[in-house]
């Protein structure tokens, strides 16, 4: 019996070491991205030519039940400065609620004012967003396609800033950087902004400027129509049709351009369930795209491109590894105190796992991203502890999504709920717009998150009891993350279950936020 216990203890230690090493590899990759960014940031794209005559452009606005933001995006798009005889706007509406009439009425009103707006409504959601974009491409008259999701507010000069990059016939896509309408609305939105800033400012720039593959982000980017066709068109066998098409196009030899100085503001999910829904779709879609395309990476591609593609497409694995490491914490603490006491090497491995988990969840590239945007180390550092908490707190949600994606579990495209928030929208206003949720589908995961919060609180208590001070700070961060995520998830579900969607007359009253055209320029 004692021999069996010893074997189990050794197996646990080896499993813990394996997870730590795997997380360390993904953590090192984050540092590699920071290195690539600073090494290659002087390679930022520059215009090499310009069009003598403005080419024809089609702007596509895909939407599904976006009654709070439909009018805003159509009106804002019509303010884009471009020759009207060279611009077409397609409102691609798959809605089943009041959005249909709101979008139709707004499109007709803009058309009466002289804008070339086409309202295209589908009676089914075949292919979801990818299907809507593919349907629009069949009749699009533009040589180039600019895409905006419904919660974005495109700047009036965005086409002037991006179109001339397509004078190079090798360029297939140009991506702008996302900005955030409601960055300062809450702790949740501030943390999301940091996460996305790191993705765009460091991750995108590092890949693009160093010649690695980058991805279109589904919105705030322009495509050469012939590039879409050459890559095989929009596919809807993954939940991240943008990532899928991006890799297929670059594997065909097309070049992408990322413009960090060109920004387009959008709404961050102000509610936890909406945020988790978005994260779930991205994680699952990433896993699906990995399963689909990683085996097809050509052997003649440069090693740096293939290596970065591997880490990019398998990045969702880190969420699963974080959950495994968290589950091992209490038994590993017990072994350190009661079995392996007096063995400093094993103790260092245990203590190091906390630091490892923290650095992998909120790597230095988030700090570097904020430093590039805000020009202040204090602004970039003060939210870092909560960044760790939130990153760990949504690990269960994202790990489940990744497993579903890798093992081929099919699911529909669940849009991120839009609330029509702006810098001046009150909490009462957006909370009244919370959509009804399929609560039964959320209960199991919510219960797991509550159990994980309780488990981590027990770990904190055990660390205090045994005076494990080195790991106590990080354990507390992890526990706070799960308590915060579980609490806001349940509160959001209860509020959504009690609320009803207001009528269209009550909802479309959100004005464009002031100052949304201001840009943060990265040198």
Where in the sequence numbering do the catalytic residues fall? Answer: 94, 242
DSSP class per residue in 53-96: SPPPEEEEEEESS-TTTHHHHHHHHHTS-S-GGGEEEEEEE--S
H or E stretch covering 344: helix 344-361
Compute the radius of gyration of the chain from its Cα atoms: 24
Task: Report whether 80 contacts 87 (CB < 8 A).
Answer: yes
Strands 221-224 and 144-147: antiparallel
* 364 CB-near residues (< 8 Å, 6+ apart): 30, 31, 34
How many C-beta neighbours within 10 Å does residue 268 have? Answer: 27
Task: Report whether 204 contacts 99 (CB < 8 A).
Answer: no
Task: Report whether 57 contacts 75 (CB < 8 A).
Answer: no
* 69 CB-near residues (< 8 Å, 6+ apart): 150, 151, 267, 418, 420, 510
Q: Tell me if residue 437 falls in helix, strand or coil.
A: coil
Distance CA 70, CA 85 (A): 24
* Cα–Cα distances in angstroms (integers) from residue 331 to residues 13, 292, 455, 458, in the given order: 10, 37, 12, 12
Within a 13 Å sphere around the CA of 275, how many CA atoms are in the beta-carbon half? 25
SS3 content of the chain, % helix, strand, coil (to 5): 60, 10, 30
Task: Report whether 276 contacts 193 (CB < 8 A).
Answer: no
Distance CA 317, CA 435 (A): 30
Residue with tokens 């960090």: 260
DSSP class per residue in 120-135: EE-SS-TTHHHHHHHH
Distance CA 124, CA 137 (A): 17
Report CA 236 to chain centroid distance, whole Å. 18
CA-angle at 33, arms to 406 and 179, nearest 5°: 85
């Amino acid at each position: 019996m004692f021999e069996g216990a010893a074997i189990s203890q050794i197996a646990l230690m080896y499993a813990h070491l394996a997870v730590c090493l795997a997380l360390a590899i993904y953590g090192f990759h984050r540092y590699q991205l920071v290195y690539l960014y600073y090494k290659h940031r002087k390679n930022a794209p520059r215009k090499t030519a310009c069009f003598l005559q403005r080419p024809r452009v089609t702007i596509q606005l895909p939407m599904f039940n976006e009654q709070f933001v439909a009018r805003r995006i159509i009106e804002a798009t019509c303010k884009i400065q471009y020759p009207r005889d060279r611009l077409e706007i397609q409102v691609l509406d798959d809605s089943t609620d009041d959005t249909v009439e709101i979008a139709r009425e707004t499109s007709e009103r803009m058309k009466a004012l002289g804008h070339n707006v086409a309202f295209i409504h589908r009676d089914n959601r075949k292919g979801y967003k990818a299907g809507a974009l593919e349907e629009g491409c069949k009749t699009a008259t533009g040589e180039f396609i600019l895409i905006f999701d419904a919660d974005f507010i495109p700047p009036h000069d965005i086409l002037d800033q991006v179109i001339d990059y397509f004078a190079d016939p090798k360029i297939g896509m140009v991506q702008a950087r996302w900005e955030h309408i409601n960055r300062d609305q809450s702790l949740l939105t501030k943390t999301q902004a940091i996460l996305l800033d790191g993705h765009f400012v460091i991750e995108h720039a590092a890949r693009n400027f160093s010649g690695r593959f980058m991805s279109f982000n589904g919105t705030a980017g322009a495509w050469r129509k012939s590039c879409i066709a050459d890559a095989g068109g929009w596919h809807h066998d993954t939940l991240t049709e943008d990532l899928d098409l991006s890799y297929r196009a670059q594997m065909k030899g097309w070049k992408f351009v990322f413009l960090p100085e060109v920004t387009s503001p959008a709404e961050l999910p102000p509610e936890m369930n909406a945020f988790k829904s978005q994260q779930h779709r991205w994680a699952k879609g990433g896993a699906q795209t990995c399963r689909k395309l990683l085996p097809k990476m050509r052997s003649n591609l440069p090693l740096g491109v293939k290596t970065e593609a591997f880490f990019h497409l398998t990045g969702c694995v880190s969420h699963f590894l974080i959950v495994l490491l968290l589950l091992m914490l209490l038994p590993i603490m017990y072994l350190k105190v009661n079995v392996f006491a007096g063995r400093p090497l094993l103790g260092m491995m245990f203590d190091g796992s906390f630091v490892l988990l923290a650095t992998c969840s909120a790597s230095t590239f988030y700090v570097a991203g904020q430093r590039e945007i805000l020009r202040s180390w204090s602004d970039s550092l003060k939210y870092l502890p909560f960044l760790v908490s939130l990153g760990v707190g949504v690990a269960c949600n994202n790990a489940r999504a990744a497993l579903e994606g890798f093992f081929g579990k099919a699911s529909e495209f669940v849009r991120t709920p839009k609330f029509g928030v702006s810098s001046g929208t009150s909490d009462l206003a957006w909370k009244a717009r919370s959509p009804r949720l399929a609560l039964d589908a959320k209960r199991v995961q919510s219960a797991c998150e509550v159990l994980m919060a309780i488990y981590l609180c027990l770990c904190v208590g055990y660390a205090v009891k045994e005076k494990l001070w080195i790991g106590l700070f990080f354990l507390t961060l992890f526990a706070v993350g799960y308590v915060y995520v579980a609490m806001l998830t349940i509160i959001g579900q209860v509020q959504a279950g009690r609320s009803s969607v207001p009528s269209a007359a009550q909802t479309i009253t959100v004005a464009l936020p002031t100052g949304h055209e201001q840009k943060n320029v990265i040198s």
